[in-house]
Structure 1
Amino acid sequence: MSARQVGGRTEVSSGGPWEESVGYVRAVRTGPHIHVAGTTATGPDGEVVGVGDAYQQAWYTFMKIEQALRALGAEMRDVVRTRMFVTDISRWEDVGRAHGSFFAGGGPRPAATMVEVKALIHPDMLVEIEAEAYVVAQ
């Protein structure tokens, strides 16, 4: 992850193949607010991680979100909202279990939404996740 200052905000890029061509970054921080773009289980080699496994894809995606948050001075406990887009809602428990592995256990939990979508950008992708965080000054 590489961060850069642009005006009054900090942008983090993961170097993903679509960021430059589509014109977005992995995450943006403005003041205490952090917005993490839709994130998928795409590995550093550009290949989908966990083909056919919704839990593994969701878990890997949350790890990528966590890396982006850390690059902007935040942690998962700062997440106030998640949005999970799944291609097969019958796999909701697998995706939910991955969500719970990052947010259950007595710590702060975000508001969450999970919806089924017709397709994602690659046919092997089963889940795409967005996150919003609010960093309280220490």
Structure 2
Amino acid sequence: MGEKRINISSGVKWEDIVGYSRAVRIGNYIEVSGTTAFDGEILIGKGDLYAQTSFILRKIEKTLTEFGSSMSDVVRTRMYLTDISMWQEAGKAHSEFFSDIRPDTSMVEVRRLIDPELLIEIEVTAIVS
């Protein structure tokens, strides 16, 4: 028999509309869904990639904490930017959380995200040690 699956919901309407969870844990493996800089209906860091990235990573950190995990368990990050020429701003915020942890990462440019004011979306994978 496999490990128990635990889903965490953020309570946003999109989870029911799209059919997804904020994060899923199976055993010691955690996947956090694409995370944006919305706090409810309010965009944090409008026009500021560094501020959006920092807010998102704090939001992810809170989600991991709900699973009894932490940023030190993160083994992979995926960053989707709408303008890759601004990568240094996202990289600076990412480094502030992960300079000692050093997870695998991807940083790619996408044409757009679900809201035109979003500059970045981030996903993470964590393995609880």
Query: Does the pair score TM above 0.5?
Result: yes
Alignment root-mean-square deviation, CA = 1.1
Tell me which residue corresponds to 2:94: 99
Secondary structure of 2:38's partner? coil
* Alpha-carbon separation, structure 2, partners of 1:57 and 1:77: 21
Secondary structure of 1:128's partner? strand
1:74 matches 2:86? no
1:62 Cα deviation after fit: 0.5
Amino acid paired to 1:18: W
1:14 Cα deviation after fit: 1.1
Moved over 2 A (4+): none
Tell me which residue corresponds to 1:133: 126
Tell me which residue corresponds to 1:115: 108
Instruction: Give TM-score scaled by structure 1 length.
Output: 0.89
Amino acid paired to 2:101: P
* Alpha-carbon separation, structure 1, partners of 2:32 and 2:87: 21
Q: Which among 33, 37, 43 is matched to residue 39 of structure 2? A: 43
Q: Which among 11, 17, 25 is matched to residue 15 of structure 1? A: 11
Secondary structure of 2:59's partner? helix
Tell me which residue corresponds to 2:47: 52
Unmatched runs of 5 consecutive residues or more in structure 2: none
Give me the identity figure in percent. 50
Amino acid paired to 1:123: P
Unmatched runs of 5 consecutive residues or more in structure 1: 1-6
Amino acid paired to 2:84: I
